[in-house]
Structure 1
């Protein structure tokens, strides 16, 4: 036992040796993340101020949306899946830490055996048949009782286990970033479905109004036909417009049901659970006049998928050391204590104590390059993780710039459509006044009303698109998650 302790103490300095490269941080990607570098898109629609990390949807000023977001972040299965994977990663760290410590097990056993007897005459070498007959056969019973404790400890000479723990810790942080990324995606998806729901409800209302005006035009044409003014061809053309307008109401209603079902599922409820709350129409929520976006350096630190990719790169770098350490000798200390005998009382008699201590050194010196292949495989996986990180960073920068460009352009488009809608509304009002004065026909009034409805429909769609562009921008900036303790 003293020799074993001595050998273990001599091995401790060796245990300070850790194979493999030390992680030096993520690579710089095309200057991305440097100071004093801002986004190049968006124009005057954005500010360089740092945005708030979570609850960006509150800037839309819609209490119903706030309620949906809160319910989704608490009850969505997608968040539960990501959190379950985080718990698995943390459990893996505990397992890898435990592998660095000694392991032991206790055992107790009882053995009963019936051994075949030995012929006495045969044992004495006698040839007398009477003696052989008289001797007969006999059997022997044996009972054996034993209790024991065995322990083993593999000393981490070259740091392979430490590198494994290092990789597991990095993957825990990556799993935490995955939870945040799930929150970002979920909050954006809830907001987009809500905006689309409100837009579809408004579009359905406008479509019904347009269908009603076309029906009025048809009724007027039928009256004119009765007086011999309009032809049957005009009536058929108008009737076709009415039928087409009524037919467009059906897919709009189905689309509304689809958005209602999507919002229910996103919040963790069954389809139809939110109908009572969301069936009444409400306007599309509009974003603020300008949006805080920060700079690319903040995006690098804030966006969860970038942080997850960086942590996976760190994990793969640590696994190179684990694979490299496997090429060198393994030292394992084994120990055994046991008490036993043929009587139950023997397991309490310290005189029957048996102890075994056995240090064991293993080194697979003839593996025909298998260990070296594992090291090269680990290096290739680290190179892949680095390339994945670079791709994630560049894609994040592209997402942000695309979203900024769309948002800035949509604001300008919305201004033009708003002016067009105002002009159409003013023209419709003036035409109605002229009709009441008897200077224009009813058909002119209906034409102006159709133009007004069309302009209002275009404006409503543009508002929804602007809101969706704002939501996409928040997602591209990596907003909508809360820091974990």
Structure 2
């Protein structure tokens, strides 16, 4: 038995272990200190450093209808479906690149029948070709002169072939590395779509409930103003009120009734928006949401964690970091293209001029063909590809730094705004309490005969106005809470599917 020298195979294996290009060392540091601060600067008393849960933050608002809308949206919204489809494409690309590193093998079968004029195929088949004249003499020669002989050949072949490009300098390994990072970025993009969608649904729902309550209060205020207007008209007819008072109340009443029209239009717009966000046609949720609901209030304490946790849980930052890893690996792909490429091709088959030849081992044919390619004289094309990949990597790093800084800014801005909005709501709660007390005292005076009816109605109108201002500020506070959850990168769940392993 012939023994193969292991040295060439060992040399190929050692060369295959070489990987050119930079190894990814993790995300770069951001900021002057190199690390994010230990805690948020604008946290205030309303924020705690406890780690927040990344999913289903909206349950803290204690509204079953909102919980139902969020569940529907995450299951049926097209934007999430688009991100999930892109993730499946990325996973398919990774599977393809992993397979490209392995040998390829195939089988084939072939039958050829040829009839060629003027060609003696008998010498190829080892016998007489069909179409040779069997008669002799002048008659046979005349027939041959009239029509050329036709050579006929049948050929049968069946075999196997295999090919493999040896990854001498790690170009294919870097391609798999880059594609794997793209899959992880696609997973982060799915989570980012969920974060954005959850915030959009909550914002639309909070705005809907705010407009519904403001419309109801506006109608209540309009009723009181109409009573005041009609009463002033009666007093003017009796000479105890001036025409100026009548016109002033008329203007106030008409302004209140006019503001109800855009509120009604906004309610319909938010009903349409919530239907589309949940993957349904406009109007599909009218029966569920038309009845006004209660005002949503955020919890007294909000868990925000710390900036380091923020950078890990925000999906857009994770996607930017994975893109940086992918572009770093692409430098190795470009570097490997500048070095020689070794491919191995082999074929094994049986063939002959009859079907019986396909089972005759004496007709076995084998071919082994190693091939080495090296474009050593490319006039800088390879170096240009490397520089292009390095520039793309630097751009990805700058984008990552920008994403981190914007995320920290978003969190700090929302923490500050949320804290100050709480102070505004607390002030308006005191204003409403004062207005309620004033309206009650005026009602007592009116029943005692020491105050006019118009004074009692005006005090009640001031109470309704205080209710409107408080409702609007409360809705704004809840909207800030929603925006804060989005800025913290909350509202996503792990993407189902096979984990992306290192190899």
If the TM-score is normalised by the length of the shorter chain, which range does it land in? Answer: over 0.9
* 1:393 equivalent among 394, 404, 410: 404
CA distance in 1, matches of 2:81, 2:3: 53
Cα 1:57–1:136 shift into 2, 3 Å: same
State yes or no: 1:460 paired with 2:471. yes
Offset of 1:250 from its aligned partner? 1.8
- Partner in structure 2 of residue 222 of structure 1: 233
Query: 5 Å matches for 1:311-330?
Result: 311-330=322-341
**C-alpha offsets along residues 164-204 of structure 1, whole Å, 9 cap, x if unaligned?**
11111111111111111111111111111111111011000
Farther-moved stretch of structure 1 (413-422 vs 439-448): 439-448
CA distance in 1, matches of 2:165, 2:278: 49
CA distance in 1, matches of 2:211, 2:36: 43
Cα 1:35–1:113 shift into 2, 3 Å: closer
CA distance in 2, matches of 1:245, 1:35: 50
CA distance in 2, matches of 1:4, 1:24: 40
CA distance in 2, matches of 1:5, 1:351: 29
State yes or no: 1:298 paired with 2:298. no
**How many pairs are equivalent?**
477
**C-alpha offsets along residues 5-51 of structure 1, whole Å, 9 cap, x if unaligned?**
87444311111110001111111101678487111103111112212
Farther-moved stretch of structure 1 (178-187 vs 238-247): 238-247
**C-alpha offsets along residues 418-450 of structure 1, whole Å, 9 cap, x if unaligned?**
101111111112112222222222221222222
- Partner in structure 2 of residue 101 of structure 1: 102
- Partner in structure 2 of residue 266 of structure 1: 277
CA distance in 2, matches of 1:131, 1:157: 65
Offset of 1:231 from its aligned partner? 5.4
* 1:153 equivalent among 164, 170, 176: 164
* 1:289 equivalent among 297, 300, 306: 300
Query: What SS does the aligned partner of 2:45 have?
Result: helix
CA distance in 1, matches of 2:42, 2:370: 66
Q: Which runs of 5+ in 2 are unaligned?
A: 121-137, 497-503
- Partner in structure 2 of residue 42 of structure 1: 43
Contact preservation (8 Å) 2:73, 2:277: yes
- Partner in structure 2 of residue 426 of structure 1: 437
Query: 5 Å matches for 1:25-424?
Result: 25-30=26-31, 34=35, 37-117=38-118, 135-137=145-147, 138-230=149-241, 234-424=245-435
CA distance in 1, matches of 2:305, 2:98: 40
**C-alpha offsets along residues 329-357 of structure 1, whole Å, 9 cap, x if unaligned?**
00000111222222233223222222111
Contact preservation (8 Å) 1:4, 1:333: no
CA distance in 1, matches of 2:8, 2:370: 8
Offset of 1:235 from its aligned partner? 4.2
Contact preservation (8 Å) 2:228, 2:458: no
Contact preservation (8 Å) 1:65, 1:191: yes
CA distance in 1, matches of 2:41, 2:3: 71
Contact preservation (8 Å) 2:37, 2:307: no
CA distance in 2, matches of 1:2, 1:322: 36
Contact preservation (8 Å) 1:33, 1:296: no
**C-alpha offsets along residues 140-161 of structure 1, whole Å, 9 cap, x if unaligned?**
3332222232211000000000
Cα 1:215–1:474 shift into 2, 3 Å: same
Offset of 1:454 from its aligned partner? 1.4
Offset of 1:118 from its aligned partner? 7.1
CA distance in 2, matches of 1:154, 1:431: 93
Query: 5 Å matches for 1:9-20?
Result: 9-20=10-21
Contact preservation (8 Å) 2:164, 2:344: yes
CA distance in 1, matches of 2:270, 2:373: 63
Offset of 1:218 from its aligned partner? 2.4
Cα 1:103–1:428 shift into 2, 3 Å: same
CA distance in 2, matches of 1:481, 1:118: 75
Cα 1:449–1:107 shift into 2, 3 Å: same
Contact preservation (8 Å) 2:30, 2:36: no
Cα 1:68–1:32 shift into 2, 3 Å: farther
CA RMSD of aligned residues (A): 2.4
